[in-house]
Amino acid sequence: MVYVIGIVGFICGFVLGVWVLGRLLKGRSPEELLNDRGLKFTYGLLAWAIAGLTSYCAVALYKYYFPVLG
């Protein structure tokens, strides 16, 4: 069950990360988004980091509230 919680947390975190990226990159032109390589690494890693952190937090909260099941 911990794996399911981790996967659900990762998916929710990735959705949250993409939403944050949408807010941060709102004022950029489509050409700038496609051509600027610095944006790929800076903002791409941000989405993965948010997804990983959310997955970790979901598993930690699951183990805290359901110690017998984890």
Q: Write out the residue range of the structural domain in which residue 25 sits.
A: 2-65
What average pLDDT does the structure give for the chain?
Answer: 90
Predicted TM-score of the model (pTM): 0.82
Based on the structure, what is the number of domains in the chain? 1
pLDDT at residue 37 in the model: 82
Per-residue pLDDT reduced to its tens digit, 6-38: 999 999 999 999 999 999 989 888 888 888 888
Q: Where are the beta strands (DSSP E) in the chain?
A: none
| Distance of alpha carbon 46 from alpha carbon 10, whole angstroms | 13
Q: What is the radius of gyration, based on Cα positions, of the chain?
A: 16
Q: Assess if residue 57 is contained within a domain.
A: yes
Q: Assess if residue 70 is contained within a domain.
A: no
User: Taking the chain, what is the end-to-end CA distance rounded to the nearest angstrom?
Assistant: 7
The answer to whether 69 touches 55, Cβ cutoff 8 Å, is no
The answer to whether 9 touches 59, Cβ cutoff 8 Å, is yes
